[in-house]
A = this chain, B = another copy of it.
Amino acid sequence: MDYFAGIEAGGTKFSCIIANGPESIIAEATFPTTVPEQTLPQITEYIKQKVTMNGIRLTAAGLSCFGPVDLNPDSPTYGYITTTPKLKWRNYPILKYLQDNLDVPMKFETDVNGAALGEGTWGAAQGLSDYVYITVGTGIGGGIIHDHRPLYGMTHPEIGHMKIQPHPDDHFPGNCPYHTTCLEGLANAPALTARWKVDPATLPDDHPAWDFEAYYLGQAIHNLILVCSPKRIILGGGVLKRRGLIEKVRTESIRILNGYIETSYLDDIDHYIVPPALGDRAGALGAIALLTA
């Protein structure tokens, strides 16, 4: 039988699923993101082994990849990770490595566009034309779907690096090597660790860390609403697993917007800012959604 492989290349781990959709998963695994020479052979060996073991045929593979990446098929560096702060992966031809080793047709997207399309195909944004998927983890990124397709202009969006205002009581200087105090530099998981000098998992649910986090994500959502006006915002990633955080982000977003935008969508904020429905599988299933669209 014919199957697809979906690979999500993330800043912390790679996820891989062999399936035709969320109801037909025959294998899935994750591998830590170390260096290309270690992580990528683990992925391709895993896929080839599972294909053989299950007696299936692999017809295509999708890759949704952390970025920035070059998505322009006419570019000599198409399929490369480009100016990432992860130095071992900078200017790395990830698509070529996987295509050479899996030997099937492949499609390529940003990790967040892949996850966004997965959520649109099978998850929290089914039926919507315009929505945003945001993930908050080692990095912060977002996929913007406009008129059912990933928004793409000069290049793909990189919403994690938008400038927002530091909280007046936050003395953490920001950790983005490019922008210091952009959203990612203030609110990614390493910023939580560096600001509070503990593993953020050990912070209680009522720690001010989560108020700061909501303050930053609320501003980012405010800016996204004012720039691209999505009909829903899916807010995922490891940091959003914290109990109560999405509720704080909803409250902060409404507080910051302060009534300036009046729509029925915002009147129902619990269904406007929502968690992913595909959970940790959004990225890898999204890479499969690229192939089934």
Q: Mark A residues whose CB is within 8 Å of B.
A: 68, 82-83, 129-130, 144, 146-147, 151-166, 178-179, 181, 219, 222-231, 256-263, 265-266
Residues of B contacting A82 with CB < 8 Å?
262
Residues of B contacting A129 with CB < 8 Å?
153
Flag if B147 contacts A263 (CB, 8 Å).
Answer: no
Residues of B contacting A147 with CB < 8 Å?
147
User: How many copies of this protein are present in the complex?
Assistant: 2
Residues of B contacting A68 with CB < 8 Å?
260-262
Flag if B154 contacts A83 (CB, 8 Å).
Answer: no
A108 to B137, CA, bound (A): 42
Flag if B260 contacts A228 (CB, 8 Å).
Answer: no
Residues of B contacting A230 with CB < 8 Å?
153-154
Q: List 22 A-B contacts (CB under 8 A).
A: A68-B261, A82-B262, A83-B260, A146-B146, A146-B151, A147-B147, A153-B230, A154-B230, A154-B263, A157-B228, A158-B260, A159-B226, A159-B227, A160-B226, A161-B260, A162-B222, A162-B227, A163-B164, A163-B165, A165-B165, A179-B256, A223-B223
Flag if B260 contacts A223 (CB, 8 Å).
Answer: no
A11 CB, min distance to chain B CBs, angstroms? 15
B222, B229, B231: the one contacting A163 at CB < 8 Å is: B222
Contact status of A228 and B226, CB under 8 A, knowing A158-B261, A165-B165: no
Residues of B contacting A226 with CB < 8 Å?
157-162
A31 to B152, CA, bound (A): 39
Residues of B contacting A224 with CB < 8 Å?
227
Flag if B130 contacts A154 (CB, 8 Å).
Answer: yes
Give A162's nearest chain B residue, CB to CB.
Answer: B223
